[in-house]
Amino acid sequence: MLDVGRHPNINLLAYSEVENVRGQAGDFNVTVRKKARFVEENKCTGCGLCSEKCPIIVSDAFNEGLGTRRAVYAYFAQGIPSTRTIDPDHCRQLNGKKCGICAKVCQAEAINFDQKDQILELEVGAVILAGGYDVFDPSLIPEYRYREIPNVVTAMEFERLLSASGPTGGHTDRPSDLTMKAGIEPLEKKVKKSLRGLEKFEKQYDRTSKEFYTRYTSGDIEKDDDQNKWANQYEEHLSLLKALDALKEKVETFGPAKRLAFIQCVGSRDFRFYPFCSGYCCMHSIKEAIIANEHEPETASTIFGMDIRAVGKGFEEYKIRGGNNSGITYVRGRVAEITEGPGHNPIVTYEDTRERMVKSKDFDMVILATACAPTKGIADLSKILGIALDDYGFVKTDPLSPVDTTMPGIFVCGCAGSPMDVPESVAQASSAAERAAEIAFQSDVEKETAIA
């Protein structure tokens, strides 16, 4: 990625949107809106000091809502360009409130709250569409109780938990445990606030709250409105302390999830949603189970599926190695429902088609291998580009040339065209680049011929 950012013939327009495309193969005019970052890219050094000092904390979409970020942020680590962006929806300064802390601490003077969107006109010979895909929303399958049971997550969410740069630093902490851990800080703030309230009484009467409360409850002092108020505040303080100690004691017992269930074909191979196989989900689940076992050798994973489709070279051997060396058990059968048991443990009820029995088993966490769905913006983008979509919402391609769209000079690669894994996406990207180079080269030759 760094090489791409430094290449003299590559102009990266990150944080930008295509608004219009006109012309034909070899001669396209593309209108691009380069959005205002409110941070000047040519000045920002990527030091991150503005993010450290920003007081606004919001949910982090890149980490699937499992972590948080600041209102001035980098979308993900190692992004190119390595500059920050200010979120206009959450920034105090951009919403008419006084702040500007990021501008005060930025030594490069890169913060510019007056920055506006730029409209760029590009003359290009060919266009390559690599719009990616969206994760299927498993809450549409009510029997899996996604978003109702905290420890039922998608494969993408689990991927972020496994990542060293993710919200848990690579530890497979359960979402229910993370929620309880997050409850410690606000409770500690309440305890400190309560202490400040008690200190006023202690200074006024020159004694500790504990000494006062002992005499108050024994009847040794005369009770008036101030004394009653002090006693009530101290009782509330003791209640907060008790709750905080209990929560900390509970959190100390937490550990990584060691019993994992992976449920395949969630939304795919399902006539209610997407009848096609997404292709990469089986290997993705096996990979995640192997990595989880590498993080914690006691981890045991169960993969539930109608069958395991290891379609690539060496994939079947990888699957077998996972079963032999990484604690993976493959169960042939469909999961009927997921319920919640004691300790927020998901209970999976399934049909074991080999034994022809209905069984139930509880796990620490359940991971849903969701379908590869067309990205939501592809319909609007296809109209801008003048290309057709197939029946499922992916870009329609030529059967004999899988990177050619219905518009000459516009090509597609990766999951914008159909579900596929990383190696196939990379191969298609190379093919699309070669086809685009053909068009661009032919256009240059025709222009030189016309001039001559």
Q: Which of 222, 252, 282 is the last residue of a domain?
A: 252
Q: Do 102 and 9 belong to one domain?
A: yes
For 426-437, how does the pLDDT look when each residue is reduced to its tens digit (9 = 90+)? 999 999 999 999
Q: In this structure, which amino acid lies at residue 103?
A: A
156 and 267 in a common domain: yes
Residues 109 and 36 in one domain: yes
If asked whether residues 192 and 273 sit together in one domain, one would say: no
168 and 198, same domain (yes or no): no
pLDDT digits (tens, 9 = 90+) for 237-274: 999 999 999 999 999 999 999 999 999 999 999 999 99
Regarding whether 386 and 319 lie in a shared domain, the answer is no
Q: What is the pLDDT of residues 280-332, one digit of tens each?
A: 999 999 999 999 999 999 999 999 999 998 888 899 999 999 999 999 999 99
Same domain, 18 and 57: yes
Cα angle for residues 85, 383, 399 (degrees, 5° grid): 110
- What is the pTM assigned to this prediction? 0.89
For residue 301, the surrounding DSSP H or E stretch is strand 300-305
Q: Mean pLDDT, the chain, as a whole number?
A: 93
Q: What is the pLDDT of residue 209?
A: 92
On whether both 160 and 268 belong to a single domain, the answer is yes
pLDDT above 90: percentage of residues in the chain: 84
Radius of gyration of the chain, Cα coordinates, nearest whole angstrom: 29
Residue 223 has pLDDT above 90, yes or no: no
Do 51 and 97 fall within a single domain? yes
- Alpha-helical (H) ranges within 63-118 are 101-105
CATH (domain of 164): 3.50.50.60
User: Does residue 284 sit in the same domain as residue 294?
Assistant: yes
Q: Are residues 70 and 109 in the same domain?
A: yes
Output the pLDDT for position 292. Answer: 96
Q: Give the model's pLDDT for residue 215.
A: 87
Q: Is the dihedral of CA 233, 236, 242, 244 positive or negative?
A: negative
Give me the mean pLDDT over the 13-33 stretch: 94
- Percent pLDDT > 70 in the chain is 98
60 DSSP 8-state letter: -
Kindly write down the DSSP assignment for every residue of 362-373, as one continuous string.
E-SEEEEEE-EE
| Residue 445: domain span | 375-451
pLDDT digits (tens, 9 = 90+) for 79-123: 888 899 999 999 999 999 999 999 999 999 999 999 999 999 999
Do 58 and 114 fall within a single domain? yes
Domain end residue (candidates: 252, 285, 308): 252
Number of domains, the chain: 4
